[in-house]
Structure 1
């Protein structure tokens, strides 16, 4: 197994990565910069909130350097080669970044303040646009199925329409979908993937199929489609990829793969995802030592190769 691709040098909490290539061919990674080893993040799950979007760059897709954070300003977001603020006033999660043929668009989950609990506060998906991946103008929030929506994934589908898939926590944490002719007006199209709760949809075309990966917190489920509208699960209800929990990967323990994104290059595709190498998924109780809690919070970004064999998606870490 290959070793880690990237670790955030500020708080060691890089999650939800998405990778694109800029006009010069360089790779740019946007990710949720969780405050895993912040010395005083606040009580409860405040460490998962108060997050900025971290940015890293690479010339070859293998060696990455930290480029800073997207810091809110009067017009939107601007890349700053500086540490995030010590006392954040808002939460940014799980960006998706696409190019629409003219400009870049980001679909970003936003939460007011720095909540201490998972539940009880609205989550909104907000659109931004950019010409250079550094300065982002805020367009505004999307009117989606509820006020508990996160984890956007956007793609143009075979029928010419754009679709946005997202986790709707108000609908049992399943994947909802909206469609648009022009990326301006969105129509709510109900549930794309139901069943077992999940998050973090990643949608892409490869090998004659459309594929959607979703994070079930025990590995990723694979769904396929001919038209990116009607989906069927690959294998049974317990069929997963990246569900291994033993071994070593470049000096860190192997754990389940979590929320990521896919970049396709011809017949091959790269899945960039994160893991919690030092956390086995068990609940961290009040008696957990602080050092253990911090280690469990740390996250690492990996990459895996995806390919299609006999109409099945195959994943190699």
Structure 2
């Protein structure tokens, strides 16, 4: 119960998953940050220099198979190793769109380092064309989530690290031209800092979850604009010995009566006592898991104790 569904066979640092179906097929593709768990770089170098990994399922998520990393995502002129984080991938307007957190090079610290959310398009999920970076609220933004809202606009939520690690939003009518709306959820010092926003519809409501590093904060809305906090999920351990740690940076695929959350954990990191981050290559290793979400009486219910082979459909 709640055992990992996927681990990266090369770096063993799969994180920040996003799952999308390839249109017209039974293929489900998982894109993820491919952290370098065993890298010898000083400081925080191991979380940088990461490509985007890809896994595929041909049995509706019952099993996942590694298919390599995504090429062609570096900015023109950026030679050598660069950093790719937290892809958002959707199918809309006849093609696939990726909104990627991008950092030039391999910084050994994250403080003050510029980072952008960069837009790509693809006809097939395998080949990507660079559109370019978005102009948002600061030069240090990451963790895009894109969702079409009931007002007919596409809305982008993201983390602004220059604004106390808060969540901001921007809107677009075509996915190419974006207008900043403003701050959605406060970060430090006015609220709890967080990252990895994800928005989905389920049970007659819209839901926003954010990674608070001790579980996922949950917010509910009727319109994708005003959000009411409901609490936190994923802070309690699962039943499987490899799923005892906090639920981190998650993606949600929603169906008619349930949704499947894909999240990652550091199964071998004692995160309660080693609060400064994973201290060695073993603690840096990560695993992807899945959980089931349902809505009862207007409340989001979270069950992480599901079979690793349960797949997407019930």
Under a length normalisation based on structure 1, what TM-score does the superposition of the two structures give? 0.89
Are 2:74 and 2:82, in contact at CA under 8 Å, matched by a contact in 1? Answer: no
Given the superposition, is the C-alpha separation of residues 257 and 284 from structure 1 closer, same or farther in structure 2, using an over 3 Å criterion? closer
Q: Does 1:164 align with 2:156?
A: yes
In structure 2, the residue matched to 1:197 is: 193
Q: Does 1:55 align with 2:49?
A: no
| Aligned residues between the structures | 295
Q: Return the match for 2:222 from 222, 226, 242.
A: 226
SS in 2 for 1:47: helix
Q: How does 1:1-317 map to 2 (within 5 A)?
A: 1-23=1-23, 24-38=25-39, 40=40, 42-60=41-59, 61-72=61-72, 89-194=81-186, 195-234=191-230, 239-245=231-237, 248-249=239-240, 251-281=241-271, 282-283=273-274, 293-317=280-304
SS in 2 for 1:56: strand
Are 1:50 and 1:88, in contact at CA under 8 Å, matched by a contact in 2? Answer: no
- Where does structure 2 lack aligned partners over 5 or more consecutive residues? 305-314
Q: Deviations 1:280-314 (Å, cap 9, x if unpaired)?
A: 2244789x9xxx61111000000000000000000
Q: CA deviation at 1:13?
A: 0.2
- Aligned counterparts of 2:9 and 2:268: Cα–Cα separation in 1: 17
Are 1:88 and 1:114, in contact at CA under 8 Å, matched by a contact in 2? Answer: no
Given the superposition, is the C-alpha separation of residues 173 and 137 from structure 1 closer, same or farther in structure 2, using an over 3 Å criterion? same
Q: Deviations 1:124-181 (Å, cap 9, x if unpaired)?
A: 0000000000000000000000011000000000000000000000111010000111
Q: CA deviation at 1:88?
A: 5.1
Q: CA deviation at 1:278?
A: 1.1
Given the superposition, is the C-alpha separation of residues 284 and 191 from structure 1 closer, same or farther in structure 2, using an over 3 Å criterion? closer
- Aligned counterparts of 2:96 and 2:276: Cα–Cα separation in 1: 42
Q: Which runs of 4+ in 1 moved over 6 A?
A: 73-76
**CA RMSD after TM alignment:** 1.9
Are 2:56 and 2:64, in contact at CA under 8 Å, matched by a contact in 1? Answer: yes
SS in 2 for 1:135: coil
Under a length normalisation based on structure 2, what TM-score does the superposition of the two structures give? 0.90
- Aligned counterparts of 1:75 and 1:297: Cα–Cα separation in 2: 27
